[in-house]
Amino acid sequence: MDFVSIFAALVVGLILEPMPPAFIGMIAITLAVLFRVGMPVVEKARKIVPTTAGQAINWGLSGFSNAIVWLIFAAFMIGIGYQNSGLGRRIALFLVQKLGKSSLGLGYAIAITDLILAPFIPSNAARSGGTIYPIVSSICPMFDSYPDKNPRRIGSYLCWISLATTCVSSTLFLTGQAPNPLAVELAAKSGVATVNWTSWFLAVAPVGIILFLITPILTYYLCPPEVKGSPEIAEWAKEEFHKLGAMSASEIAMAVISLIALTLWIGSSTFGVNPTTTALLVIILMVLFKIITWNDFLANKPAWNVLTWFATLVPMAAGLKNVGFLDWLAKSAIVTS
């Protein structure tokens, strides 16, 4: 069986999703191992040495020993830490309290919340689902705005803001979303110079910061809310913020751990600490300080699902290079241009 055919079927499966993506990836890598295609070619005395069954399965499972895959896995665990500690909610309520008197200001409050959390939570799903959505879903009913009833009153506007700004913040930081470090690794394997946290930010910042600043304004005019402003939102946020009381020990611990993580991520080359090592250290500290429990770790199904998914994608992506497909594609692009 041809490896490119397996990979093409994998892509179609991931687009159509007839079954969970991680399971599709497992099927694809199992077929590649079974038919021993996509693996690096080994030559001895100018002769190609056939791949053994042991070498094939080691290649197929190599994604599970990939540092970037574990960084992506850790991202989901860190998101649980922010959710359990309540630190993300505190930040969001504070900003809504200060900026939420107008709909435009409310949009910026949501955007800034996501921006603050983006460097620390390398999962846009965890940020949006764990912190932003609970706030938005509490505001909409105040104006009788639901998906099936009065969505344009304010609900659709807030949802668009949440979606658009998380797309910008996810690209602004290397640790803004899980695929970023994976893309860097795949690029490095293709001969692209290594990119670290700082160089990524400096490259994206000129455009990313402008996009971040104009996104709430564009959303305000392209998907205008019927409610232009109301002191009720700011008052609600103020009440909810005061209910939180003083920062708890878990929130303080989470804040300190986040700063340590960001420092190590930014200065990974200076300190000689791999970003994945930092992420695993964060998980250990969160468990030790009882921000999350070991059962939380084991029960985080999305994290284990994405671990399986990306661990199968890494060797499959490498397989394209091993069979010469990427070289053929590059040469074809040069000829057509």
**CB-based contacts of 274, cutoff 8 Å, min separation 6:** 67, 268
- pLDDT 10s digits, 157-167: 999 999 999 99
Full-model pTM:
0.81
Residue 258 has pLDDT above 60, yes or no: yes
Which residue in this structure is represented by tokens 């620390």?
120
pLDDT of residue 112: 94
- pLDDT 10s digits, 165-185: 999 999 999 888 878 888 887
pLDDT of residue 335: 65
Write the burial class of residue 221 (CB in 10 Å: 0-12 exposed, 13-18 middle, 19+ buried). exposed
Question: C-alpha distances in angstroms, 167 versus 38, 101, 267?
Answer: 33, 25, 25
Residue 47 has pLDDT above 70, yes or no: no
Mean pLDDT (whole number) for 73-102 = 89
Residue 218 has pLDDT above 90, yes or no: yes
Question: What are the residue boundaries of the structural domains of the chain, listed by start?
Answer: 3-60+307-336, 67-299
Burial pattern 60-72, b for ≥16 Cβ within 10 A else e, equals: bebbeebebbbbb
Mean pLDDT (whole number) for 283-307 = 93
Percent of the chain with pLDDT over 90: 48
Give me the chain's average pLDDT, please.
88
